[in-house]
Amino acid sequence: MYEPKPEHKFTFGLWTVGNIGRDPFGEPVRRQLSPVEIVHLLAEVGAYGVNLHDNDLVPIDATPAERDKIVAEFKRALAETGLVVPMATTNLFGDPAFKDGAFTANDPQVRAFALQKTMRAIDLGVELGAKTYVFWGGREGTETDAAKNPLDAAKRMRDALNFLCDYVIDQGYDLKFALEAKPNEPRGDIYLATTGAMLGFIETLDHPEMVGVNPEVAHEHMAGLNFLHHVAQAWDRGKLFHIDLNDQAFGRYDQDFRFGSVNLKSAFFLVKFLEDVGYDGSRHFDAHAYRTEDYEGVKDFARGCMRTYLILKEKAVQWNADTEIQALLAEINADDGSMAVYAPPYTSEKAAALKEASFDRIALGQRGLGYERLDQLTIEVLLGVR
Ligand code: GCO
Ligand code: MN
Ligand code: MN
């Protein structure tokens, strides 16, 4: 009943189920799977697609001949399993050359190398069929603001994205960019730290229509923010090009937990939103299994992400059809039409009339709104007792 199907567009990165469980305190706990093995693992659990950084597939020091062989083997695995590659991205954070960032690095050679690496990675992504290209500014930030002027960083970031948009246009690629914000980790502070900041930045680019966002649950939660509100703002602007689903306790390190495993109610309202508005992009799980797991546990993790999404999707249908909930919503949103004469858009007549209107402020303040009952009904839907 909660079986993943291609139309659900569930995707995972090579780096997610392929995570070997290294952390700052401990060595890997799982063997490194090859990209081909990961594709087969994802097919086994029922995923639709696999996303990748350039170096998840092709090592940074591979020769052109090695690259071609690896890509050919990977394509064969895709053809065998039916998996697709909807999104690709560049690793601009792993190599020591990028220790001061990539597009915003102080060293112009690093910035040029980052552009070269990204153009090559875009070529690879397009070759594999990707239509969305993600930019996560992993090390685009600082530990000390003595080292970099944030205005220079903003200009460098803008120049780089303009360059790459022009590259895509020049090549005739059918590719959109999705910018992914994160407040910190691995840098002390990362520039453009929230999805809202990215949305503002996009409007300053030469080709804003090519660029949207890739919000991630954990990233807004790390900053103590409401993820759904950021997703809604992106949707409202037509900028929700991709989404990274996972989970994260507020105030903790970057956890990348299984979707829905921490903040179930937030996950519910997120799924409900995506389904209600008809978001039709990938549901990408950017998360990884606990370090306690072997590869059976990794499959449990991946299946769990998709299963929880589908259960929450069903709960959203139930919530929308619940007569008591709907009656409460109707009450909350009751409108007798008497205010329509003042409603936007503005006219000077409306403004003049509104300035003279009288309101029963005391009664407005005294009215109970029933949100406690509504929230409890939501909790009971989620707990399965309705
Ligand atoms: C993180 C990020 C990354 C990016 C990935 C794709 O916190 O490390 O979420 O996983 O999503 O690099 O751009
Ligand atoms: Mn993340
Ligand atoms: Mn991510």
What residue owns the CA closest to ligand 1's atom 4?
Answer: 136
Of 8, 40, 54, 56, the catalytic one is 56
- Is the CB of residue 184 below 6 angstroms from any atom belonging to ligand 1? no
pLDDT of residue 290: 98
Quick one: which ligand is closest to 19's CA?
A: 1
**Which atom of ligand 1 approaches the CA of 90 most closely?**
13
What residue owns the CA closest to ligand 1's atom 5?
Answer: 136
pLDDT of residue 206: 99
pLDDT of residue 192: 98
From first to last of the 386 residues of the chain, give the pLDDT tens digit: 999 999 999 999 999 999 999 999 999 999 999 999 999 999 999 999 999 999 999 999 999 999 999 999 999 999 999 999 999 999 999 999 999 999 999 999 999 999 999 999 999 999 999 999 999 999 999 999 999 999 999 999 999 999 999 999 999 999 999 999 999 999 999 999 999 999 999 999 999 999 999 999 999 999 999 999 999 999 999 999 999 999 999 999 999 999 999 999 999 999 999 999 999 999 999 999 999 999 999 999 999 999 999 999 999 999 999 999 999 999 999 999 999 999 999 999 999 999 999 999 999 999 999 999 999 999 999 999 99
What residue owns the CA closest to ligand 1's atom 3?
Answer: 136
In the residue annotation, 53 being an active-site residue is answered as yes
pLDDT of residue 326: 98
- Is the CB of residue 73 below 6 angstroms from any atom belonging to ligand 1? no
In the residue annotation, 56 being an active-site residue is answered as yes
Cα angle 47, 256, 377 (rounded to 5 degrees) comes to 85
pLDDT of residue 285: 99
**Which atom of ligand 1 approaches the CA of 135 most closely?**
13
Q: How far is CA 5 from CA 38, 178, 184, 374, in A?
A: 18, 25, 35, 32
Contact 174, 218 (CB under 8 A): no
pLDDT of residue 97: 98
Bridge partner list, 26:
23
Question: On the CB side of 302, how many CA atoms lie within 13 Å of its CA?
Answer: 29
CA nearest 274: which of 304, 307, 317, 303?
A: 317
Domain boundaries, the chain: 6-321, 323-383
pTM of the complete model: 0.98
pLDDT of residue 332: 95
**Which atom of ligand 1 approaches the CA of 246 most closely?**
9
Determine the distance separating the centroid of ligand 2 and the alpha carbon of 361, expressed in angstroms.
Answer: 46
Q: Assign domain 6-321 to a CATH class.
A: alpha beta
Separation of alpha carbons 83 and 302, rounded Å? 15
The preferred substitution site among 216, 241, 248, 285 for testing ligand 1, maximizing ligand atoms within 8 Å of CB, is: 216
Separation of alpha carbons 74 and 303, rounded Å? 23
Amino acid at 15: W
Radius of gyration of the chain (CA): 23
Of 8, 23, 40, 53, the catalytic one is 53
